[in-house]
Structure 1
Amino acid sequence: MITEPRQGHRPAEPLARRIALPAAAVGAAAVAITGLLGMLLPHLAPFTGEMPGVLGFVGERATLVEACIGIAALVLVALHRSLPSGIGRPLAGVLGAAAAITMPGSSIAGAGYLLALLVLVAVPILLVVLSFRRPAAGVPLLALLVAGLAAGELTGAFAVSRFLGVFVDGMGDAWLALLATAAHTLAGLALLALAVPGPSSRAADAVRRARVPVTIAAAACAAPYIVARASWLTPWPLFGPSREMLDSTPATLVTGLLLGTAMLVGALLTLGLILPWGERFPAWVPGVGGRPVPVPLAVVPALLVAVLFTVGGIGLMGLGGAAQEVGAPAFQQLTMAAMLPFWLWGPLLAIATWGYAMHRREPA
């Protein structure tokens, strides 16, 4: 027996939107609390570092602006279901962008060192697993890694230990900024999810058509930094200390190479949005080899990184402006923008991720 749909029955909201509303509430509350705590305990505010981000440019009112954004977002979440889409979506987009763009700019530095640490731990493990599962590919790569470590003898081990020490000391002051970043990112992404047009919109169609070239362009943003860090292995190091200083301070060399490797990993993960292994785990991966990659597993981290890169890029450009004020040549700003083009990588990665999500949900 076929039953007619009840008149006035509204179709169920997509899962992303059902999740976005409570996530926006949690994120907005966290942003508001962070701002209020910063007003009460200004010495703990994570906007006082060398790279303050957008809020750092409003001075002492930074935490007030942050609290107002969080409270306004909470009000919007409370009224969202009763607002017409023509009003609710634009407001969600504006507040989402405001929440994302006002995160502490120093977070991108902490994230870079955190990814470098993960690379330091994960790459040897992956090479060992690959050597057992695919010896023809894994054994030569593992041998190359061992040979590189052996060539450095105790110097290499000392440099790695120094990097770990620098990481622990540096992150001691960065955890507050990272926690504030998590709050701003959650609120920003959730609110932007409420503002994104449906999959049948013209914008969505344009993203579907352009997702491959956009993804390639996003991954290419890592090339300048990777080339510069690779040059530290040559007599002509770029974008860093002199050859003599690198030879005398191996920890600096290892740190730079690890950050360059982290950037390379970021580029490869970006390309995963259009490559087969981004849709299905490689067969050699234990436990999940050959299975489809869960869409949220790829989309959520990619969007987090997109927001972080965009805000980090704005923070870097702000540093460039500050440098120019004290008499630094203007070309240094251009060099910074070209060597670390997070300002471009972030928006391109967001578009590429949106295209990936729509591609994965298309009927076979």
Structure 2
Amino acid sequence: MAVPVSPPLPPATAPVPRARLPRPVLWTAAAWSALHLVLAAWWLLDPGSRPGLEGGDENGGSGLLTVLPSTTTAWVVLALAGCGLAAAAAAALHRPGTGAAVAFAVAGGLGVLAADTRALVLLGYLTAIVAPATFLVVFTIGALRSRRARPWLGAVVLVVAAGLVSGVLRPGTIARLAGELGGPLARELPSRGHLALLIGGAVLFAVLGVLARRAAVGACAACGRPGPAWTRPEAAARWGRVATLVAAAGPLPYGLLRMTWLTPWPVGLPDASDPALRLFGLALGVAALGGAVLTIGLVRPWGEVWPSWVPVLRGRPVPVRVPVVAGGLVAVVLLAASPGMIGMGIAGLASGDPFEAAFLLVFPTLPWGLALAAAVTAYALRRRGACTACGQGQPPLAVRR
């Protein structure tokens, strides 16, 4: 009598770990919500305690906060903070579906409330103040030890010499510009700092919503796999290159416009005889053009390995989180500024004001922000490699050298 043979068992696969929400995210969301419950209640009891979120006359129309009455803003923040606390509690009590829905709703509400151009202005000014000087120092130190970068030191010397001769880079000019910028920035730091806190809350609850959604569908806790085909490294490399090129073109109109302040034909310069204003235009232009160059790094080898002119870090792999966090921050601020920038451009078209209408071309914040967000996402998908928790995924895909 023949003995039936059992079919072979399929090969064992590693089970996908059930997504557990990280405690730091839950605690941070709960703390943010509790803080704003207290602040909103304080604003209702003492309307004068608000940190100037509505801004001054020069900020009118830059965002929803400049239009809503202070009492309305307090009630909106109170409601969103209460919902945020409910989202964190639902996620902590193993009700991820409810937690995800509420968290996404809070993120959307905060995004609409905090959509404001002032965050972009603050980021742009801080970058213009810090980035050019920092790059000059780091590049000079690193290039002295790099044969490939050493010839570029001549160009740096020529630029500095031209700035000294023209008066733009003289110590007195730099000191006067620092004094003129320091006072307004210090006065507006509380209001713009809290605006940044609201934008950060929108990002925080978006992250909480994503993590809770993973738990609801049983995806991997660490990477969210399995995912659709567009998240594979090869696919991300294709569409990511297009997104990167679009994002790199975003700051070019503004950067090139500011760089005209160094020529005899400055565009939009109030006082051509003031070297401090010319220096500020130079700093803003360099920061914008530097942003375009750094964006290109998302699809270049030096975006994966530190270049030879970077001291200490040269030759080491660039941590994936560095470009992702930096580029993601800029993308969030650009998207937050988009309603105000688009509104000013449309108002300029309606009134026949060419200066305001030019905002649509000089500050293409919406396509720039969307493209930068996509480029950063593609960079992360291409370089993340196989997941250490579930084993799914492919090795990191490096760009061609």
Q: TM-score range by the shorter chain?
A: 0.7 to 0.9
* 1:252 CA drift (Å): 1.3
In 1, are the aligned partners of 2:237 and 2:378 still within 8 Å (CA)? yes
Is 1:150 the counterpart of 2:164? The answer is yes
Matches within 5 A, 1:134-213: 134=146, 136-153=150-167, 156-196=170-210, 198-199=224-225, 200-201=227-228, 204=231, 209-213=238-242
In 2, are the aligned partners of 1:69 and 1:98 still within 8 Å (CA)? yes
Deviations 1:149-199 (A, max 9, x none): 332248743332222112211212221133213322332222222344735
* 1:227 CA drift (Å): 1.5
Q: Which moved more, 1:61-70 or 1:71-80?
A: 61-70
**Aligned mate of 1:107, from 97, 107, 119:** 119
Matches within 5 A, 1:263-278: 263-278=288-303
Runs of 4+ in structure 1 off by over 6 angstroms are: none
Residue number in structure 2 paired with 1:302 = 327
Aligned CA RMSD, in angstroms, stands at 3.1
Is 1:62 the counterpart of 2:87? The answer is no
Summarize the Cα distance change of 1:228–1:294 in structure 2 as closer, same or farther, 3 Å threshold. same
Counterpart residue identity of residue 13, structure 1: A
* 1:123 CA drift (Å): 2.6
* 1:217 CA drift (Å): 0.5
Residue number in structure 2 paired with 1:342 = 365
Summarize the Cα distance change of 1:90–1:79 in structure 2 as closer, same or farther, 3 Å threshold. closer
In 1, are the aligned partners of 2:240 and 2:374 still within 8 Å (CA)? yes
Summarize the Cα distance change of 1:57–1:307 in structure 2 as closer, same or farther, 3 Å threshold. same
In 2, are the aligned partners of 1:31 and 1:183 still within 8 Å (CA)? no
Distance in structure 2 (CA, Å) of the matches to 1:195 and 1:201: 19
**Secondary structure of residue in 2 paired with 1:283:** coil
Matches within 5 A, 1:1-364: 11=17, 13=19, 19-39=24-44, 40-42=46-48, 44-49=51-56, 50-51=58-59, 52-60=62-70, 61-82=72-93, 86-103=97-114, 104-134=116-146, 136-153=150-167, 156-196=170-210, 198-199=224-225, 200-201=227-228, 204=231, 209-238=238-267, 240-241=268-269, 245-246=271-272, 248-320=273-345, 328-329=351-352, 331-362=354-385, 363-364=395-396
> 5+ unaligned residues in a row in structure 1: which ranges?
none
* 1:82 CA drift (Å): 4.5
Summarize the Cα distance change of 1:36–1:358 in structure 2 as closer, same or farther, 3 Å threshold. farther
- Scaled by the length of structure 1, the TM-score of the pair is 0.84
Q: Which moved more, 1:137-146 or 1:197-206?
A: 197-206
In 2, are the aligned partners of 1:27 and 1:186 still within 8 Å (CA)? no
Distance in structure 2 (CA, Å) of the matches to 1:210 and 1:195: 25
Counterpart residue identity of residue 175, structure 2: S
* 1:224 CA drift (Å): 0.6
* 1:31 CA drift (Å): 4.3
* 1:320 CA drift (Å): 4.4
Counterpart residue identity of residue 232, structure 1: W
Summarize the Cα distance change of 1:59–1:319 in structure 2 as closer, same or farther, 3 Å threshold. farther
Deviations 1:234-284 (A, max 9, x none): 33322x126xx21x2111111112111111122222222222222221233
* 1:203 CA drift (Å): 6.1
Summarize the Cα distance change of 1:55–1:154 in structure 2 as closer, same or farther, 3 Å threshold. closer
- Scaled by the length of structure 2, the TM-score of the pair is 0.77
Summarize the Cα distance change of 1:21–1:280 in structure 2 as closer, same or farther, 3 Å threshold. farther
Counterpart residue identity of residue 382, structure 2: H
In 2, are the aligned partners of 1:116 and 1:258 still within 8 Å (CA)? yes
In 2, are the aligned partners of 1:133 and 1:284 still within 8 Å (CA)? yes
Radius of gyration: which is bigger?
A: 2
Distance in structure 2 (CA, Å) of the matches to 1:289 and 1:18: 35
* 1:313 CA drift (Å): 2.3
* 1:75 CA drift (Å): 1.3
Distance in structure 2 (CA, Å) of the matches to 1:341 and 1:350: 14
Q: Which moved more, 1:121-130 or 1:166-175?
A: 121-130
